[in-house]
A and B are shown apart, each in its own frame.
Chain A
Amino acid sequence: MLARKNLQLNEHGDLHHLLAIEGLPRRIIERILDTAESFVGINEREVKVVPLLRGKSIFNIFFENSTRTRTTFEIAAKRLSADVVNLDVARSSTSKGETILDTIANLTAMHADMFVVRHSESGAPYLIAQHAAPHVHVVNAGDGRHEHPTQGLLDMFTIRHYKKDFTRLTVAIVGDVLHSRVARSQIHALTTLGVPELRVIGPRTLLPLDAERLGVRVFDSLDEGLKGVDVVTMLRLQNERMSGALLPSASEYFARYGLTPQRLALAKPDAIVLHPGPMNRGVEIDSAVADGAQSVILPQVTFGIAVRMAVMAILAGATR
């Protein structure tokens, strides 16, 4: 029964955990983006620290390794003056469940205020949120192929920064949507924020069967799908998908779905290109595009810190 209620919001409709973009009201997404706006300035100052979360303990619990994401959360927490503990939890093949819940119980006993959780299985942060003490906040830092909400939010921040009004945009998400938690978070964020045309483009082996039900248009051809778009967001193709029954080879994938300057020219002239990183140059994206004038891939990383600061500050109730 517990699993049926909305865990993310408290009884006042405020954010209590950040587990997924799906189900988040537009006002909360916009509040996070607005709050992040105020943190961008801090990150450009010489002294990049504010005391909003002084005395709070934030635990980065990574059941799946990711130095990049963990680092951005760590920087964000430190700039808010929180105490940060990083845990790379080795996953034992036996008693995995005991490991998760025991870990959570132990950390709660250490008076943790917030858990930032990355796990290779979809839904793991929900399990933790259900078993965490009531005062503890859980941030999903990526779960299986389900969602990566802070990545989705930083992508929204980036798009808003360059394009202002979501309600006039055509956005294309290109690549391995099936296995991508980033794509799911982006799709829910973009539809919630009112993007009128959202396209997903990829071979059918990498698109979910019922993609249309998520409110997107499905394109088989990259050339067709890119026509007239304002925003192109490329997805990383994992190495293990590049050969086998999903795709014949990385080079054939690039030939059909790699973003080259020629293909990008089909989009609007002022279109921007996003990528959640890390990039596979020459697989999903040509270096000339990745490093080109329309790429906003590095600003994404910078904004990512401000967005994660905003999420943590709002969860801790430090922004009112």
Chain B
Amino acid sequence: MKIAIRNGRLIDPASGSDRQVDVFIAAGRIVAIGEAPSGWHGNRDIDASGCIVAPGLVDLAVHVKRGTLATEMAAAAAGGVTSMVCSPDTDPVLDEPGLVDMLRWRAQSFHGARLHPLGALTKELAGEQLAELSKLSLAGCIAFSQADKPIVDHQVLLRAMQYATTFGFAVWLRPEETHLAKGGVAHEGEMATRLGLAGIPSSAEIIALATHLELARVTGTRLHVCRVSTADAVEMLREAKRRGIRVSADVAVHQLHLTDVDIGHFDTQCRLTPPLRSARDRDALRAGVLDGTIDAIVSDHTPRPDGSKQLPFAEAAPGASGLETLLSLTLRFADAVGVDPAQALAWITQRPAGVANLSAGRIALDAPADLCVFDATAYRIVNRAGLRSAGKNSPFLGYELPGVVRATVAGGHIAYELAA
């Protein structure tokens, strides 16, 4: 398929380019930027007048379950996401090469976003026996993770890091001390006290992060810290980077907007993991993104059936559907902190691609044709009917957000196009 994207404003954070220019795509690659290649006969023209042409989004945190791959791939395309890193807590857990092969094969059949699985660091994520990291890597796992199941035994964690580092594999961990978080469903603070909800203290994150950073330091592990949620963790990461520890970090985009107060009268859409924290934490997370302490903004896409949210708060399943709001919420964040959209795009393209060591997240000659065409000045109201994901669970239902995706090109295919 030969596609021309015409009249758009091309923004590529990786090269720093921001100009009005046409892009030409053939055989899954970008073949020209500016002038059409000689003898160009395209199959399709996409008119990007008034729109930004950006690299396809790279989302480092997506949860997929068996049976929902079709809808979630459609959601990714509608959200402008062309590369997604999926968590190993699928059913069954991604701890065997055959499962990884099958998942990747099925994902490829949709001709949409590239799916990059994280492998389980331990068998069944049980935190006891190492998974076959080398074999999983050959099957396509880009790094190794425990998803939301921390390794309680620190000796196992130390060995897992040593083993992964032997082969140069990165380890992705969400810092949460199991026992301190046990039973908790909301940030431990005034709001949880008022609502009578069991709290998850900030110290659960801070203690686990201290452990992870220290073990990464002694083992030389390439550590990626997932879903930072507290102010003190941001400061610890800043200090760790200053000391030269090989660490990167991401934050879920909803954490940059919401706080525990948004739970209101037990709104289960705000039941999230890690929990929404205080305004002080949110401000520190924002500052962490702005100064580069936090490398990437992610959706933490977790689709849930309606029934799992129509429950008392503590019994409701945690998580938010996020692929289709990642771009809009990042633009809204950029606007709130006074950053140009061109700079903000780096947090959802180039920077996360760097964290995951992917060749995606840039627009360059001969690079994979992964692009997102969107109107940054248009607004839309988030509603259930508009979401393609099987999960209609969003804390932002009813919000009017900036940014409307007009077209998504993934691997040279038009994965999504907004009906005119």
Interface residues of A, Cβ cutoff 8 Å to B? 1-7, 19, 22, 95-98, 100-101, 119, 121-124, 126-127, 131, 143-147, 181, 184, 208-211, 213-214
Contact = CB atoms under 8 A, between A and B. Distances in A.
B190 A97 contact: no
Contact of A213 (B193, B266, B269): B193
A208 B195 CA distance: 11
Contact of B265 (A7, A119, A184): A7
B193 A97 contact: no
A210 B308 contact: no
Nearest to B306: A97
30 contacts: A3-B266, A3-B269, A4-B264, A5-B265, A6-B265, A19-B265, A96-B315, A97-B308, A97-B315, A121-B312, A121-B315, A122-B195, A122-B266, A122-B313, A123-B196, A123-B313, A124-B312, A126-B265, A127-B266, A131-B310, A144-B197, A144-B314, A146-B197, A147-B196, A209-B188, A210-B189, A210-B193, A211-B193, A213-B190, A214-B190
Nearest to B317: A97
A130 to B, nearest CB: 9
**Chain A CB within 10 Å, residue with most, of B196, B197, B263, B264:** B196
Given A122-B312, A123-B312, A97 B196 contact: no
Interface string B267-296: 111000000000000000000000000000
A138 B338 CA distance: 45
B396 to A, nearest CB: 10
Contacts of B310: 97, 101, 127, 131
A130 B16 CA distance: 50
Contacts of A144: 196-197, 312, 314
Interface string B175-195: 000000000000011100111
B339 interface: no
B398 interface: yes
**Chain B CB within 10 Å, residue with most, of A1, A22, A96, A147:** A1
Nearest to A23: B265
Contacts of B268: 3
B190 A210 contact: yes
Nearest to A3: B267
Given A1-B397, A123-B313, 20 more contacts: A2-B267, A3-B264, A3-B265, A3-B267, A4-B264, A6-B265, A19-B265, A95-B307, A98-B307, A122-B196, A122-B197, A122-B313, A123-B196, A123-B197, A123-B266, A124-B312, A147-B196, A209-B188, A209-B193, A209-B201
B27 interface: no
A129 to B, nearest CB: 9
Contact of B196 (A98, A127, A145): A145
B384 to A, nearest CB: 12
Contacts of A146: 195-197
Nearest to B269: A3
B365 interface: no
**Chain B CB within 10 Å, residue with most, of A3, A5, A181:** A3
B382 to A, nearest CB: 10
Interface string B395-417: 00110000000000000000000
Nearest to A121: B312
Contacts of A6: 265
Interface string B314-358: 111000000000000000000000000000000000000000000
Contact of A119 (B190, B199, B312, B316): B312
Contacts of B264: 3-4
A50 B159 CA distance: 74
Contacts of B195: 122-123, 146
A15 to B, nearest CB: 16
Contacts of B266: 3, 122-123, 126-127
B196 A143 contact: yes
A154 B269 CA distance: 34
Contacts of B218: none
Which 8 pairs show the lowest CB-CB distances between chains A and B? A146-B196, A123-B266, A121-B312, A3-B267, A145-B196, A97-B311, A122-B196, A208-B193
B129 to A, nearest CB: 30
Contacts of A3: 263-269
Contacts of B263: 3
Contacts of A210: 189-190, 193
Contacts of A98: 307
Interface in B234-277: 263-269
Contact of A214 (B193, B267, B316): B193
Contacts of A1: 397-398
A97 B265 contact: no
Given A1-B398, A3-B264, A4-B265, A214 B314 contact: no
A318 to B, nearest CB: 27
Contact of B313 (A121, A184, A209, A213): A121
Nearest to B196: A146
A100 B196 contact: no
